[in-house]
Amino acid sequence: MDTFTDSMAWLAKRDGTMVIGHGPFTESGDLPADGVAFYVQTFALEDSKPWKIPSRIERISLESLPSLIPSGPSIECTWTPPQAGDFAIVFQEIMAAIHSGVFEKTVPVVTELGTVRHSPAFAIIQAMMRQNAPLQSYGWIQPNSGFAGATPELLFSLSSNHLETMALAGTARCEDCEVFAVDEKEIREHEYVAQTLVSKLLDLGDPQRHLREILDLGSIVHFLSLISLDLAAPISPELLIRRLHPTPALGPLPRTPETLAHLFEWRNRLGCPLEFGAPFGLWDHGHFTAVVAIRGIWWNENQLRLPAGCGIIEPSRLINEWRELRLKRESVKLFF
C-alpha cells in the first residue's frame, strides 16, 4: 500500500475491496461520465462541488489490510464529555414540537470534544481502515484535518438498474439483545424509517422489503431491514441522494423545509460536524455506493470531535436517549 498522503479519500466496498483515492483532487459539480470519483458532502447538501476526482487510485483487498496496515497505538486523548443540560434543553424543545404535531421523529446530535498532543490522523486512519464487515470504512483527509469512520449504514448502492438500501434504526447494548427484540419503542422507531424508505421508492419500481433482523456490531445492536428494487427507469445518483437523504434514521419525519430547519439549528447548537450523517459515496466506473457518515471522528489539528445521534419519538425518555448517545460514542472509541 502507498504511504498516507496529505490528501486522500477511501471507501470499503461490500465486494471485499477498498478503493483509495490520492490527491490532489479535482472538484466538480457534475458526476464524471466514467472513472472514479468520491462524493463528499455536508448533511445539508450545501457543497456545490461534491464530486472529488483523485489524481490516482489504488485498490486493496480487505483481507490483506491487516498485513498492509499494522495495528496502531491508541489515541492519547483528553476527552471533554458533552453537557447533559444542553442536550436536555434540545430534548424538551423536540418533545414540545412532537406534542404540537410538527414532528413524529427527529434526530439530534451530541458531540464529544477531545484534545491530543500530536496529530491524530495516522492513528485514526489505521483504526478505521482495519474495521471489518458489516462496517464500511470511509474517510476524507486533508492537510491537518479530516474525518474518518466505519459505518454500519448504507444509504444506497446503484448498479445498472438495481438499487439496494436499508433501514437501520433502534439501538441497544448487545447484552440487552433479548429484550431489545421486543421493545415497542425501538421497533416503532425502526418502522418509521423502514416504511418511509419504502414509500419514497414506490414510484421507481417494486421495492422488496426483507424481514426485520438484528444487526450485531459487537458492543451494540441495531434493527436492520434490507430493501431492494429494480428501477423501472434510469435515475442519477444525485437525484437518488436528494430523494433518500436524510432518511428518518438521521433526519426528521415528516421531512419538510420547516422540520429540516429545526434539525439544522439543533445540530449547530450542539456542535455537530457539518458532514456527520451526510452521504459519503464512491462512483466507480458506472457503479455508485453511498454510505451514511456516522461512527466516525472529525479532527482539525489536535482538536477532535466525536458525534453521535439518537432518534427521538413520542415515547422517548431523556435518560434513555442520553445513555444511547454515550453507548454510540463508546463504540467508536473501541475501534482504537
Helix, strand, coil share of the chain (percent; to 5): 30, 35, 35
Give pLDDT tens digits for 97-119: 999 999 999 999 999 999 998 88
Domain assignment present for 151: yes
CA dist., res. 201 & res. 185, Å (int): 25
- What is the domain extent for residue 164? 8-62+78-333
Please report the pLDDT score of residue 75 as a whole number: 78
Count up the domains in the chain and report the number.
Answer: 1
Give the C-alpha distances (Å, rounded to integers) separating 287 from 37, 44, 118, 207: 11, 24, 38, 20
Contact 208, 228 (CB under 8 A): yes
Q: Please give the Cα distance from 306 to 276 (Å, whole number).
A: 10
Look up residue 331 and give its three cell numbers. 463504540
Contacts of 144 (CB under 8 A, 6+ apart): 119, 121, 300, 301
When pLDDT is cut at 50, 70 and 90, the band that residue 73 belongs to is low
**What pLDDT, on the 0 to 100 scale, is given for residue 336?**
82
CA atoms of 33 and 75, how far apart (whole Å) = 40
* 259-270 residue pLDDT tens: 999 999 999 999
Task: State the CB neighbour count (10 A cutoff) for residue 281.
Answer: 27
The pLDDT of residue 76 is 84
The DSSP element (H or E) to which 237 belongs, if any, is helix 237-244
d(CA 158, CA 190): 23
CATH of the domain at 40: 3.60.120.10
118 alpha-carbon distance from chain centroid: 26
10 Å Cβ neighbour count for 196? 21
Residue 70 resides in a domain: no
Does pLDDT of 58 surpass 90?
Answer: yes
Beta-carbon contacts of 299 under 8 Å, excluding residues fewer than 6 positions away, are: 120, 121, 124, 145, 146, 147, 305
- The answer as to whether 250 is a domain residue is yes
Instruction: Say if 68 falls within a structural domain.
Output: no
CA-CA distance, 99 to 97, in Å (whole number)?
5
pLDDT, average across residues 26-50: 96
Position 220 in a domain:
yes
Q: Which pLDDT score, from 0 to 100, does residue 1 have?
A: 61
pTM: 0.95
User: What is the per-residue pLDDT for 66?
Assistant: 73
Tell me if 239 is assigned to some domain: yes
- Per-residue pLDDT tens over the stretch 239-256: 999 999 999 899 999 999
Residue 2 resides in a domain: no
In a domain, 320, yes or no: yes
